[in-house]
Amino acid sequence: MTFEAYITLVTTDPYVPGALILAHRLLDLGTTKHLACLITHNISTVARSLLSSLFNDLILVDTIKSDSITNLSLLGRLDLIETLTKLHVFRLEQFDKVVFLDADTYPIKLIDELFQRPSFSAAPDIGWPDCFNSGVFVVEPSITMYSDLIQLASEKGSFDG
């Protein structure tokens, strides 16, 4: 039997309502998958309590900040400075497969079939069709892949976070 999970990320308290709505929606739609939430040290005790009421696991991670401040400024998206924190998903080897969902996603139907997709699966970004959108992706976590991605981000940077 495989251990599969939906994962989301909450880096600051303002993301908590979205994560709670996402978890509630997945449960309302009937998922039987594990729900886990990556949280950073910035998350308050009250927010952690709220999140733990719906998520099976809260996983504390360090924030990974982008060095691409110039690019983010040009895009007018300084809010993406912590987007690389999502890379922690790739090291969660306690799960056989994960579907990552941004905290502001809202499934309109049960999406458990995403766990049948190959690793790595993602949709193209609407504004940059030669890039994928990191708001929804499927991966089989691997510490090797995580290390490679961290090194790549460090050496090459990112144009959008």
Number of domains observed in the structure of the chain? 1
Determine which of 2-6, 27-31, 61-65 has the lowest per-residue pLDDT on average: 61-65
Question: What pLDDT sits at residue 73?
Answer: 46
Mean pLDDT value across residues 29-34: 98
Is the pLDDT score of 159 beyond 60? no
Determine the pLDDT at residue 78. Answer: 42
Structural domain range at position 149: 4-156
Residue 75 lies in a domain: yes
pLDDT at 72 (0 to 100): 43
Residue 117 lies in a domain: yes
Q: What is the pTM of this model?
A: 0.85
Domain assignment present for residue 20? The answer is yes
- Confidence at 64, pLDDT banded by 50, 70, 90: confident
* 161 domain residue, yes or no: no
Banded pLDDT at 68 (limits 50, 70, 90): low
Contact of 97 with 137, CB cutoff 8 Å: no
DSSP 35: E
Would you place residue 65 in the very low, low, confident or very high pLDDT band (cuts 50, 70, 90)?
low
> DSSP character for 87?
G
Confidence of residue 67 (pLDDT cuts 50, 70, 90): low
Does a structural domain hold residue 129? yes
Q: What's the rounded Cα separation, in Å, for the pair 92 and 36?
A: 11
* Least confident among 26-40, 97-111, 123-137: 123-137
**pLDDT exceeding 70 applies to what percent of the chain?**
79
Element (H, E) at 47: helix 45-52
Burial of 99 (0-12, 13-18, 19+ CB in 10 A): buried
Q: What are phi and psi of 132, to 5 degrees?
A: -95, 155
CATH number for position 65: 3.90.550.10
Whether 145 is in a domain gets the answer: yes
Residue 22 lies in a domain: yes
Long-range contacts of 129-138, Cβ-Cβ distance < 8 Å, separation of 24 or more? 131/160, 134/83, 134/86, 134/100, 134/102, 135/101, 135/102, 135/104, 135/105, 136/99, 136/100, 136/101, 136/102, 136/105, 137/99, 137/100, 138/97, 138/98, 138/99, 138/100, 138/114
